[in-house]
Structure 1
Amino acid sequence: MLLAALALALALPVGLTAQNRAQAAPAPRTAQLATSAAELTLTVPPDRTAPGYSLHVARDQLALTTRRSGTTVLATAPGDTGALRFRTAGTWQHATRVTDWSWKNGVLTLTAATTVPGATVQARVTPSADRYQLDWQVSGTTPERLGLAYDLKSAGHWYGHGEAQTPNGGPGTDQPWPLDSGQVVHPAFGPASYYMIDPFWYTSAATGLRVDTGHVMDVAINQNTDGLGRFDIESAEPYRATVFVERTPLDVYRDYVGIVGKPTKSDAGYRQYAEPVWNSWAQFYTHVDQAKLLDYAQDLHDNGITGHALQLDDKWESNYGNMTFDPKAYPDPKAMSQKIHDLGFDFGLWVTLWINLDSDQYQYAADHGYLLKDAADTTKPCTVTWWNGTAGIVDLGNPEAKAWYEGRLKGLMKTYGIDGLKFDTRFFDERCAPHEGYKPTDYQRLGAQLADEYDLQGVGIRVHWDTAAHQAGFVTRQVDKGTGWNSLRASVTQNLAISTIGYPFVTTDMIGGSSAQPAPTKQVLVRWAQSAALMPLMYASTSPVDTIDPRTGQKVVYDEETIALYRQAIARHARLAPYIWDQVQQTLRTGDPIMRPLFFDFPEDKPAYTITDEWMLGPAVLAAPQLTDAPTRSVHLPPGTWYDVAHRKVVHGGRTLTSYATPLGTTPVFVKLGAKGSDKALRALR
């Protein structure tokens, strides 16, 4: 038995983690390799759980074409781009002719020449029933980067990635869905990024790509409309990727979650799903004080605008990192906390591990070795510039530093009756060196473990790229959005992107946006609230009573209709809470996202793959809110029998409803009759 187990372990492909080994099916004994003068063809037959596929390796210039049932479902880039590519001496090169190969113990090993004389590529393909592992590296030269390039159209449409940088303002105002419908240009795609991202992409052809790396990547999807997907790693280490081949995109997602792990719990409790959290940021930005915060809370209370918590965001400290209230702005923070509690809210506070150089705690932390060290000179603390100055970062890899930080944090919470926290900024920066024994990627796990000890009050935290982040069950809040219609639309497609890379408990950015743009119009604010009411959680800031325009400092007063419609959106979300809570429990069992694209539930419905303004909330609720300043919209209904909530009638799907009237008080939403949970959804929405 021991010898057999050892032999199996030695046969596993390089780059498979322990979790990969637990989830990936063994190489099929019936996998076969056929050869011809033009190509090598690896065939994996279908079985009860997998559709089967064939991988065709061109011999004249190493290229990979994946086919399912005879149809191409993924192909690497043709021509001079090169499929397996690398950069050396500042110039991109690539693999060319296959010069040698072997098929042994379920592994196809390839050697190829390259466009660099004397340099070769060695690649290994290890097939499983529903995926194959691709590991490769370069010999004969020292590359600066390794990359894979794909022909986008070979796989249909592309999804995944998370929050995408784009030439059109992404992720704040632009999040293409599908990704190939726009351009993604993300040169610093890495584990320390502030963006919510994972190196996982999937396609409408039910294929997927996971890149197993802890290094920064340069990701470009349809850059300059070139039709290519380029996934480059800033490292000479072997490139390790998993290519999934499944029947549906949902199956690909489930395969991926089988590797990174599903949530083991929900960080948010029932009330946090049922009621919004109110945060001061978009209402005041840094121009906040005790009197303003209490007036804000009183207005919400007096107008029947409910919520489970009220959070004081940036800026409350005397200096960033002091962890003491500014006495000029907050003369009596204990009384402020008590008043907020008296109004029915829990009290929350914004915090960060970044300590500014002018903080009275900076030198103490530096002297005691509590700060991350500079990557270029580890004898001194690392300093980073952020939106509030220049700072050092508490080193969570140092147990003494973590204990010091948490001791101060817990003392603050106890003194002022603070119920929960909003952790902001990052836990690591590429300009810093990790603590001895740690890698940069470990700081996502360390940050997740720290945050998991506190009530995050439904605003969650932004950690990613690590199994701890997936399994912790945090609510994921988006990056700051603008206050216009484009940001509202981006908030929807971004939630679809985040929730389908394994972070199912999603919320948009603060309702109405929060990027210091002019205050949202009545229409944007109301439509954003109506949209968020049909998502797992509501994250609010801009008051529907009145707000401050950050550009002018002038008060913006909304009318009574704004208050009433916002209140209605909150009430609808509260009525849906029992249904949403059921979906939370289902996600804990399966890992499936709560908010998801229509094609996850209806994979045969071709129009569903390009719809940007509808989603499924669990299996029974289809949300189609108005996301533009228009009197009507089209609503696509997948096949099935649906209940039109606004018109109180049954309609048949498999068609598009045109010119669906959407006055400001109407939000199109439909219940799929007979779906699991439909009875509960109907009771909530009628």
Structure 2
Amino acid sequence: MTAAQLSLDVRRAGHTVLAGAGGATGALRFRTGGTWQHATRLTRWTFGNGVLALTAATTAPGATVEARVTPAADRYRLEWQVKGAAADRLGLAYALASAGHWYGHGEAQTPTGGPATDQPWPLDSGQVVHPGFSPASYYMIDPFWYTSDATGLRVDTGHVMDVAINQQDDGLGRFDVESAEPYRATVFVESTPLEVYRDYVGIVGKPAKSDATDAQYADPVWNSWAQFYTHVDQAKLLSYARALHDHGVRGHTLQLDDKWESDYGNMTFDAKAYPDPAAMSRTIHSLGFDFGLWVTLWINLDSDQYRYAADHGYLLKDAAGTARPCTVTWWNGTAGIIDLANPDARAWYVGRLHHLMSTYGIDGLKFDTRFFDDRCAPHPGYKPTDYQRLGAELADGFDLQGVGIRVHWDTTAHRAGFVTRQVDKGTGWNSLRASVTQNLAISTIGYPFVTTDMIGGSSGQPAPSKQVLVRWAQSAALQPLMYASTSPVDTVDVTTGKKVTYDRETVDLYRAAIARHERLAPYIRDQVRQTLRTGDPIMRPLFFDFPKDPAGYTVTDEWLLGPAVLAAPQLTPGGSRTVHLPQGTWYDVVHGTTLHGPRTLTGYGTPLGTTPVFVRRGAPGADKALRALR
């Protein structure tokens, strides 16, 4: 702690491992009258009953900061507030370099296209500018960050935050809460980043189960979105299913995504596009797939169900005037949102889902959109964060078929054990790379059952090239689950409307990736069981297992799948790459040789059919992994 300008710094073994921002930014900062101010000179302190109480002057005339610090062996709890001024935002700011590299956060908004095409890893290697960091966000995020120096920050809030990490290369991390309520946070101090992660999981909880089944860990789910977007109908979907089946491209489920309803919220098939949905379902089942359907809680104003839901009070109310329903604009129009905190609304919605599923032989659902919006008012007695819990409880009653769901921030989301899918990616190399670093970010904020966005990407961009599609499949094969859409047989370029046909090699290499993942499934399921015991992520950065290896903290294109498998697929154009091996004895699956780390392999050859993968001799599960990968 410094007294000239109040800053709660962390020192370990005589070295600073986390320091507050100095200068005009200030470590404890607040906004009043539209201007940012900060704590300055320490004016009073007391220590009693294990609590350090502090009072500091500020740059705002007449205003003081009052803070309470409760220390423990591996963390301290911080609570502070402003007195003598009306503050509408409170924040902490840190000098990033004081703590080494920064990680966590989840899906990050960046000036260069994140999270769709950019996910810096570490976070400080790029810029994160995320002003709507909220429990109602569509992004998979949690207010938790950790560092290579084994410190961490968890902000305990249900309010919207404004998070900026290295914005305009300023070297600062700013974590501001849009509220005048006291700022509450936990700062962790540990020996390794993995131990910081474990401390955090000790607060938010580890998964109580895995939502995915054994079959869903073994084979991919096929979803129609990137293959057709909204230009889909019964004939196209069945042709898609038959082509996958006839070319031996395996999958456990075929899901019909967006644009099957007559209007959004009706929960009835568009009769022109789907003349016989029951027969469509039977055909999909006869091809060996389960059948799934995309659904949302958002009911468009032009839906014939909107008026019924509004008249019965089933929709969230407007935060600006609770006498009327809240309306939100989304990618498919303007809608109201079912209020899951209203038991009658929930029962009505769930009843319609069950009727739809039983009528047409639908096995599971892909829930999309959000369960709350910051423009809406929560049901009386509820908070915005409660809707993450309510959404998780709703989804837990259905088979999500391995595509998972996007709930976060609330402890129920951590404990439910859902598969987590990423936000839509583009179809280029940058999105493939972002899919890897983003899963590392999501895995290490407490959501271990990760899958990438659809293999090959989506986001309304030109169809992926053969090389991107194959490399993405090879990468996904070495992750916990595979989530597929673009067929390796052929697809449609949404930007031109023209058919794109891939060659036989594309199909063969894609099938080989699926086969590799299927063989790895017993090993992966062992990791799932280990995660249920410990909460540790399955897909994780090298430094979680090798914290003393400095090179591992900036590796962006490798990961560990459990303790025994190191994946280093090709994520860029070209036919070679550099591979870093941490300490240990590693079996090179491609060449059948044994290597000793730490070492860096340069110019490792990666023709299109080759994916570098290594097995750590002596690690738990190594023998099972070797049998699968050889």
The TM-score with structure 1 as length reference comes to 0.92
Question: How do 1:65-80 and structure 2 match up within 5 A?
Answer: 65-80=9-24
Give the corresponding residue for 1:581: 525
Other-structure match for 1:392? 336
- 1 CA distance for matches of 2:215 and 2:78? 45
SS in 2 for 1:551: coil
Residue 193 in structure 1 maps to residue 141 in structure 2: no
- State how 1:198-213 maps to structure 2 within 5 Å: 198-213=142-157
The AA in structure 2 aligned to 1:529 is A
Deviation at 1:59, TM superposition (A): 1.1
User: Quick one: distance in 1 between partners of 2:467 and 2:306?
Assistant: 45
Q: Deviations over 1:67-110 (max 9, x none)?
A: 11111110000111101000011100000100000011111100
Counterpart for residue 337 of structure 1: 281
Quote the residue 2:192 is aligned against: 248
Deviation readout 1:232-261 (Å, 9 max, x if unpaired):
000000000100000000000000000000
The Cα of 1:543 is off from its aligned counterpart by 0.1
Give, in angstroms, the shift of residue 117 of structure 1. 1.1
CA offsets per residue over residues 341-392 of structure 1, 9 Å max, x none? 0000000000000000000100000000000001011001000000000000
**Which structure 2 residues correspond to residues 32-43 of structure 1 after superposition, within 5 A?**
none
Partner of 1:541: 485
What does the per-residue CA deviation read over 1:570-616, in whole Å, with 9 as the maximum and x for residues that have no partner?
Answer: 00000000000000000000000000000000000000000000000
Q: Which amino acid aligns with 1:122?
A: E
Counterpart position of 1:227: 171
Deviations 1:285-341 (A, max 9, x none): 000000000000000000000000000000100000000000000000000000000
Of 107, 112, 133, which aligns to 2:51? 107
Alignment of 1:521-540 (within 5 A): 521-540=465-484
Match of 1:470 among 405, 414, 429: 414
CA distance in 2, matches of 1:311, 1:169: 28
Partners of 1:101 and 1:401 in 2: how far apart? 52
Deviation at 1:63, TM superposition (A): 1.3
| Structure 2 match to 1:682 | 626
Structure 1 letter corresponding to 2:326: C
**Equivalent-residue separation in structure 2 for 1:88 and 1:117 (angstroms):** 11
**Partner Cα separation in structure 1 for residue 213 and residue 201 of structure 2:** 23
The residue number in structure 2 matching 1:314 is 258
Amino acid at match of 2:605: A
Separation (CA, whole Å) in 2 of partners of 1:639 and 1:557: 44
Partner of 1:356: 300
Give, as a single letter, the amino acid of the residue that structure 1 aligns with 2:445. I
Matched, 1:556 2:500: yes
Q: Among 205, 216, 224, which residue is 1:261 paired with?
A: 205
* Aligned-residue offset at 1:434: 0.5
Aligned partner of 2:219: which letter? E
Amino acid at match of 1:337: S
Paired position in structure 2 for 1:427:
371
Shift in Å at residue 191 of structure 1?
0.2
Q: Which residue of 2 aligns with 1:659?
A: 603
Match of 1:528, SS state, is helix
Correspondence for 1:631: 575
Partner of 2:227: 283
TM-superposed CA distance for 1:447, in Å, is 0.2
Task: Report the 3-state secondary structure (helix = DSSP H, G, I; strand = E; otherwise coil) of the residue aligned with 1:73.
Answer: strand
Shift of 1:64: 1.9
Partners of 1:76 and 1:217 lie apart in 2 by: 18
Residues 1:641 and 2:585 aligned together: yes
The residue number in structure 1 matching 2:514 is: 570
- 1:286-301 correspondence to structure 2 within 5 Å: 286-301=230-245
CA distance in 2, matches of 1:235, 1:341: 52
Q: How far, CA to CA, are the matches of 1:440 and 1:134 in structure 2?
A: 23
Q: Secondary structure at 1:341's aligned position in 2?
A: helix
Partner residue of 2:386 out of 433, 437, 442: 442
Amino acid at match of 2:80: W
Amino acid at match of 2:325: P
Secondary structure of the corresponding residue to residue 8 of structure 2: strand
Counterpart for residue 125 of structure 1: 69
Q: Counterparts in 2 of 1:52-201, with a 5 A limit?
A: 57-201=1-145
Residue by residue over 1:636-664, the C-alpha shift from the partner in whole angstroms, topping out at 9 and shown as x without a partner, is 00010000000011111101000000000
SS at match of 1:264: coil
Aligned length: 630
Which residue number in structure 1 is paired with residue 214 of structure 2?
270
The DSSP-based 3-state class of the residue aligned with 1:108 is: strand
Amino acid at match of 1:355: I
CA distance in 2, matches of 1:368, 1:462: 28
- Shift in Å, 1:444: 0.2
Amino acid at match of 1:346: D
Q: Which amino acid aligns with 1:545?
A: V
Task: Please give the alpha-carbon distance, in whole angstroms, between the structure 1 residues aligned to 2:499 and 2:222.
Answer: 19
Equivalent position SS for 2:392: helix
Give per-residue Cα distances to partners, 1:173-193, cap 9 Å, x unaligned: 000000000000000001000
- Three-state SS of the structure 2 residue aligned to 1:396 is coil
Shift of 1:60: 1.4
AA in 2 matched with 1:179:
L
Helix, strand or coil at the partner of 1:619:
coil
Residue 257 of structure 1 aligns to a residue whose secondary structure is helix
- Provide the rounded CA distance (Å) in 2 between the counterparts of 1:643 and 1:317: 51
Provide the residue aligned with 1:39 in structure 2: none
Letter in 1 for 2:567: A
Q: Which residue of 2 aligns with 1:483?
A: 427
Residues 403-445 of structure 1: CA deviation (Å, up to 9, x unaligned): 0001111000000000000000000001100111101110000
Write the distance in 2 (CA, Å) between the matches of 1:134 and 1:453.
38
Tell me the percent identity.
Answer: 81
* Separation (CA, whole Å) in 2 of partners of 1:260 and 1:173: 29
Query: Secondary structure at the residue paired with 1:653?
Result: strand
The letter for the 2-side match of 1:546 is D
Match of 2:536 in 1: 592
Give the CA deviation at 1:194: 0.1
1:618 to 551, 562, 565: 562
Give the structure 1 partner of residue 247 of structure 2: 303
Normalization by structure 2: what TM-score? Answer: 1.00
CA distance in 1, matches of 2:341, 2:69: 36
Question: What is residue 668 of structure 1 aligned with on the other side?
Answer: 612
Which one-letter code corresponds to 2:320 in the other structure? A
- For 1:179 and 1:148, the matched residues in 2 are separated by 17
**How much is the aligned-residue C-alpha RMSD, in angstroms?**
0.4
* Correspondence 1:344-383 to 2 at 5 A: 344-383=288-327
1:65 is displaced (CA, Å) by 1.6
CA distance in 1, matches of 2:578, 2:487: 30
Unaligned runs of 5+ in 2: none
CA distance in structure 2 between the aligned counterparts of 1:670 and 1:562, rounded to whole angstroms: 24
Letter in 2 for 1:239: Y
Aligned partners of 2:526, 2:229: CA distance in 1, in Å? 35
